[in-house]
Amino acid sequence: MIETTPTLLRGAAWAVLWDEGAKRHVYARDVDILLSGGSIAAIGPAAEAPPPAGAAVIDARRMLVMPGLVNVHTHPTSEPAYRGVREDHGVPEQGMTGLFERLQAFRLDRAGNEAAMRLAYAELMGAGVTSVVDLTAPFEGWMEVMREAGLRVWVGPGYASARWGMTAPQTVTWQWDEARGRAGFQRAQAVMDEAEADPSGLLRGIVFPAQIDTVEEGLLRDSAALAAEKGRPFTTHIAQAVVEVREMIRRHGMTPIQWADAIGILGPRTILGHAIFIDEHPSIGWHTSRDLALMAEHGVAVAHCPSPFARYGEHLRHFGRYRSRGVRMAMGTDVAPHNIIEEMRLAILLARGVARDIAAADTAAVFHAATVGGADSLGRPDLGRLAAGAAADVVCVDLAHPQMVPPRDPLRSLVFHAADRAVRHVFVAGRQVLKDGRPAMLDVSEAAGILAESQARMLRDAPLHDYARRSGEAISPLSLPLA
Ligand SMILES: [Zn+2]
C-alpha cells in the first residue's frame, strides 16, 4: 500500500462516471471527487465546503475527469528502439509483416531496454494510461523502473520453446529448444512472484507464453494451469500473422484459435493479442467460420492494437462485428508510440472503413474497451471506472486546450482531436504520477541519448544476425536518401 495525502478534485466541469446499474459510463457535470487511501472515497455535487483536513485540492473547473485507461498489450522495453526503423518496413513474401525479419536482425541491448522503457512509460502515462500490461523478455532492473514510474503494471515475463528465424524472404523457421522454454517458464514464475510481493500493491503477474506457434503444447497447458491456480490473467500472441496461421494449420489442420480451444487454454481471463487473422479473415480464407464463436463462448478478450497492422495494410475485420458476435474488446498499444488515445481514434476509423458503416465503432465503444474492457479482462472490477470505492486511478484533461474547445463533448474532443496533448494530471492509487503533462517521479532525462546509442549499435550489428547478412540500412533504408 502506498501512503498518499487525500486529494480533492474540486468542481470538475465534466466527469465520466460509472453507472453500475446500466453497466456503462455516463457524463456528469460539476462534481467533486475525493481520492483517499488509494480509492475514490466520494463523488458528489460540487460544494463550497472546505476540503477535508490535510487534503490537497486541484481546481478541476476547467477539466474533464475520467478513469485511467487500461492498456492490455505493450512491449515498452523494446518498441521505442524501432522508432524510425519499422514504420515503413515489411516483407511482401510474408503477407507484408516485417515482424520475423526485424526480430531476427535487430537485437537491443540491456541499456536500450531500460531507456526504451523509460520513454515508453512516459508516453503511456502522458496519454492517460494508469494500468499497463508490460510483455517483455525479463531483464535486471525491469521492475525498478516500474516502481519508479508509479503505474499499475501487470508484469508479463515472456518465454518460448522455439525461436523464429528466416532463411529466405518467403521462409520462416522455428528452431525448437523445449528445455529453454521450461527454463523461461521457471524464471517467469519467480519474476511474477516477486512482482506480487511488492509492497506497493501495484504490481501483478500475467502469465505470458510468448506466441501460440513458439510454445509447445505441454508448456501452454501448464501455463494456463498456473494462471488458473494463481488467479492471474493469461495472454499470448495468436492470429497475429498470416505466416503463423498457415504454420498452425500445417501442424494441426486447424486455425490457432481452434487449436487453443482444443488444448483448453481459453477462458474469461485470457487476453488474445491480436486475434486478427481468424478463419474468416480474407487473408486467411479458411473453410470454417468458428473462430469468433469460440472466442465469444470462452469469454476471452481481444487486445486490439490497430497501428502495427494498419502500417502494413492489415486490419481486424472488424471491431463492431467482433463486439456484436459477443467477443470482449480491450485496447493496447503494442508498439511505439504508446499513445492509446490515438489507437482509440484509429480503431474507430478502421472499423468504419472496413465495415463501410459508421455504427461499426464510436467514441463510447472504444472508450469502454480502453477502460472497462481491459479492466474486466484482468479481473479487476475496481479499475477503468470512476465510482465510490473504485481505485483512485484518475485522469484530468485540460478542457481549455485549443484542441479541446469548444468542449461540447469532451471525449470526442480528446479522441478525435487533442489526444495526449490535453492530458494534464494522472493519479494511480491516489498518487500523482503525471503532473502538468510531465512524469512526476519517473526520470527520463538520460533516456533519449542512451536509446539513440543503443539503436545505433542494434543497426550496426544487424549483419551478424540477419539471414542475408544485410546492414541495418539495407533492411530499413531512410525514408529519404541522404544528400
Ligand atoms: Zn505484441
Q: 165: CA distance to ligand 1 center in Å? A: 17
Pick out the chain residues at pLDDT < 70: none
In this predicted model, what pLDDT tens digit does every residue of 179-188 receive, in sequence order?
999 999 999 9
Residue 279 has what pLDDT?
A: 98
pLDDT of residue 81: 98
**Which of helix, strand or coil describes residue 98?**
coil
CB atoms < 10 A from the CB of 469, how many? 11
DSSP label of 50 = P
> Distance, CA 73 to ligand 1 centroid (Å)?
6
**Residue-by-residue DSSP string for 187-222:** HHHHHHHHHHT-TTS-EEE-BEESBTTTS-HHHHHH
Nearest to 421 by CA among 445, 443, 400, 437: 437
> What was the pLDDT predicted at 47?
87
pLDDT one-digit tens code per residue, 272-313: 999 999 999 999 999 999 999 999 999 999 999 999 999 999
The answer to whether residues 72 and 330 touch, using CB atoms and an 8 Å cutoff, is yes
Q: Which residues contact 449 (CB under 8 A, 6 or more apart)?
A: none
List residues, by chain if needed, whose CB lies under 5 Å from ion ligand 1: 273, 334
The pLDDT, as a whole number, for residue 151 is 98
Q: How far is the CA of 335 from the centre of ligand 1 (A)?
A: 8
Distance (Å) from CA 273 to ligand 1 centroid: 6
pLDDT at position 222 is 98
pLDDT score of 48:
78
Q: Residue 24 in 3-state DSSP?
A: strand
- Helix then strand count (H, E) for the chain reads 17, 20
As a whole number of angstroms, the distance between CA 206 and CA 200 comes to 17
C-alpha 240 to ligand 1 mean position (Å): 9
pLDDT at 141: 94
Centre of ligand 1 to C-alpha 6, Å, is: 37
Which residues, at least 6 apart from 383, have a Cβ–Cβ distance to it below 8 Å? 67, 68, 70, 130, 131, 152, 374, 375, 390, 391, 393
Q: Give one word for 449, left, alpha or beta, with left for phi > 0 and alpha for psi -120 to 50.
A: alpha
Omega into 287 within 30° of 0, i.e. cis?
no
For 50-93, write each residue's pLDDT tens digit. Answer: 888 899 999 999 999 999 999 999 999 999 999 999 999 999 99
C-alpha–C-alpha distance, residues 331 and 409, integer Å: 22
d(CA 430, ligand 1 centre) in Å: 29
Grid coordinates belonging to 286: 479458411
For residue 413, report the distance from its CA to the centre of ligand 1, in Å.
Answer: 29
Read off the pTM: 0.98
Ligand 1 centre to CA of 224 (Å) is: 18
Q: Write the DSSP symbol of residue 358.
A: G
